[in-house]
A and B are shown apart, each in its own frame.
Chain A
Amino acid sequence: MPAAKGPIHFRIHHLLGLFLGTFAGIVCLTGAVAVVSHELQWLAVPATRAGAGEPDSTLGQRWDAARAAHPDVLFGGLSVTSTESGVEDYFATTVRGTDRGGGEFRVYVDPVGGEVKGSTSGVSFPSFMRALHYYLFDVTGAGFYVVGILGPVLLMMMVTGLRTYRGWRKGFTKWPRAAQRPRSWWGALHRLLGVWSLLFLPVIGLTVVWYLLEWDGLLQWDGPEPPQGTAVLADIRTVSGEDIDRWADTARTALPGLRITSLWLPWEEGGTVSISGQAGDLLVRERANAVEIDPVSGEVRRVVKVSEMGWKQRWTHTADPLHFGGFGGLWSKLIWFASGLVLAALCFSGVAVYCLRTGPTKSTNS
C-alpha cells in the first residue's frame, strides 16, 4: 500500500478514501436509488399506478375492494404512498396484510374508481432498497453501524478535502478538459464534484450522525409511548370499510387538516387504531401527526400534533425528510436522487484518482 505523503489533512483524506471510498460510493448509490424506489416500482409494476383524475373513493371503499378480492388475506392496514409534501396522486393505495403462510401481501387499489389493480407478495422493491441502504439487511443491528459510520467519515473527508484543495471557492466552474491526461482529468472531476457536493453533503452527513446517536439511544426525543385501547376488537377480520371511514372521519375531526397517509389496525391485543398523515407542517415525516383511536368505543385516545411538539421531538421527525428529500414531492426527490449520484461519483472519482496515481508512474500529488 503506497503511503501518502503531505499534510496531515491530505493523509487523512487519502486513508479514509482508500479504505472506505468504494464502500461509501456504493452506499451513496443505494441511497440515491432508495430515494426514488417507489417511483421505480411505479414504472415497473403497473398495478401501483393510480388512474387519471381526482380520487373519488373513500379509504373504506378501497379497503372493502381489497377484502373482496382477497378474502383469505388478513389485512392490517393501508397506506397512501406519499412524500412529506402531501399525498402523491400518481400512486395507488396499498392495502397491506399477511397471506395464509404469514407472508407480506399488498393489494393495490385505484383511488380513482376504487377498483383493485393488482397485488404483490413478499419483499417490495422499496423495502429491499431501504434495508440494503439502511442496515445492509443485517437484522442484528450491526449493519446499521457499518453504514452509519460513513456519516462522520463523509464529513471528515469533506473537511480534509477542502483543506487539501486550495482555492476551492473558485472551483465551481473548473470543468475537466478533454485534453487532460486521465489522472488529471479524474482529479479535476473529483474536485468539481467535491465543491458541488458541499450543497448537500453536510445535510446527508449530519443526519446520518443524528441517526447514529438516535439509534444508540443517546438521544431519544420521540415522545411518550402510544396509549392502549380499552377493549379488544372482536375480530380483526370483520373490520369493514364502514369502520375504516368512521375512524378516518374521527381522526380528521380530532386533527383538522389531516391528510391521511396511513391507517393501521391494532398490532396487539388492547392496541389502538393508528392514523397518521400530514397536516400542513413543513419538513416532517408522515407519521409525525397522528391520532390513536380506541377501535371498540371509537374514542380518541391521543392526538399528536407537530405544532405542539418541542424542538427536540420536532427535529426527530425532520431528519428523514432532510436525508431522503421527500419534502417537496417528486421534484425534491429527483434533486436528492441526483445529489446521491453526485456523491457516489465523487467517491468513485476519488478511487479512480488513487488507481491512476498508483499506476506505473508513482506520484504523491493529489
Chain B
Amino acid sequence: MIRRFLPLILPCLLVFAYAALSYGFWRKGSVGSLMRELPAVVLGGETIVPSHPAGLEPGDPDFYWRVSLTPESLARLGPLDLAHGYGETPPAEEAWLPLPTGTAFGAFTANPDLPDAATGKSGLRLWLRARLKDPVVTQSVSVD
C-alpha cells in the first residue's frame, strides 16, 4: 500500500522539506544579517551607534562597519571618517576611510583594510572622526 502512494507523496515531501530548509537562509537574506551593536560613541557631542555583522571579524570579506546617527547629528558633524586598529594609538592617516554616503541601503557602512589584520587578536578598536569639526574630533570604542 505504501509503495503505491509513495510516488504521489515523496516528490512533494522532498520539495517542501527543501523549501523549509531554505526558509532560514532566505529569511536571513531578507531581513539582513544579525548585527552586533557596540556601545554608543559620543563624538563632538553627538551620539553614534556602531555595529557590525555578528560573528564576523575585520578581514572577513563579508565584514563591514555600520554607524547609525540621526540626520540632525550628521548635519552638525559633517562627513565622517572611520578606521580600526589594535591598541590605543589612533590609526595612521592612510588608514582612515571616509564613510560613503548617498545611498539608500549602503550609507554609513565601510570595510576598511586592517594593515595588521589578524583575526582573534585582542585590543581592536573602532575609530570615528569628524573632519570638518574645528578642532577635528576623534573618538574610539573597544570592539572586544
Contacts and interface: CB of A to CB of B under 8 A. Distances in A.
A265 to B, nearest CB: 4
Contacts, number: 136
B120 interface: no
B42 interface: no
B136 interface: no
A74 B104 contact: yes
Interface string B1-33: 001111111011001101100110111011111
Contact of B19 (A98, A100, A143, A237): A143
A237 B107 contact: yes
Interface stretch (A84-92, A267-275, A283-291): A267-275
B74 interface: yes
A255 to B, nearest CB: 22
B101 A236 contact: yes
Interface string A14-38: 0000111111001000000000000
B8 to A, nearest CB: 6
B111 interface: no
A95 to B, nearest CB: 12
Binding site secondary structure of chain B: helix
Interface size class of B (residues with CB under 8 A): 35 or more
A354 B22 contact: no
B53 to A, nearest CB: 8
B92 interface: no
A264 B104 CA distance: 8
Interface in A62-113: 71-72, 74-77, 98, 100-104
A234 B102 contact: yes
Given A23-B12, A98-B32, A266-B103, A137 B71 contact: no
B11 A233 contact: no
B65 to A, nearest CB: 12
Given A22-B9, A236-B101, A267 B30 contact: no
Residue among A104, A143, A235, A271 with the most chain B CB within 10 A? A235
Interface residues of A, number: 52
B100 interface: yes
Nearest to B23: A137
A132 interface: yes
A138 B35 contact: no
B68 interface: yes
Nearest to B107: A236
Given A100-B68, A136-B15, A233 B22 contact: no
A127 interface: yes
Nearest to A127: B30
A235 B18 contact: no
Contacts of B39: none
A122 B28 CA distance: 10
Given A143-B22, A146-B15, A238-B71, A103 B32 contact: yes
Nearest to A138: B22
B22 A136 contact: yes
B49 A100 contact: yes
A344 interface: no
B22 A137 contact: yes
B101 A233 contact: yes
B51 to A, nearest CB: 7
B103 A137 contact: no
Given A101-B34, A354-B8, A267 B106 contact: yes
Given A137-B23, A143-B19, A237-B71, A18 B12 contact: no
A23 B104 CA distance: 39
A120 B103 CA distance: 23
B22 A355 contact: no
A269 B102 contact: yes
B18 A138 contact: yes
A134 to B, nearest CB: 11
A239 to B, nearest CB: 9
Contacts of B75: 238
B11 A19 contact: yes
18 contacts: A1-B3, A19-B11, A20-B11, A22-B9, A74-B104, A77-B104, A100-B35, A100-B68, A101-B34, A102-B33, A123-B30, A137-B25, A143-B19, A146-B18, A235-B71, A235-B107, A236-B101, A269-B100
Given A136-B18, A136-B22, A236-B103, 14 more contacts: A18-B7, A20-B11, A22-B11, A23-B11, A26-B16, A102-B31, A121-B31, A138-B18, A139-B22, A143-B18, A236-B102, A265-B103, A354-B8, A355-B5
Interface of A: 1-2, 18-23, 26, 71-72, 74-77, 98, 100-104, 121-123, 127, 131-132, 136-139, 143, 146, 232-238, 264-269, 271, 295, 351, 354-355, 358
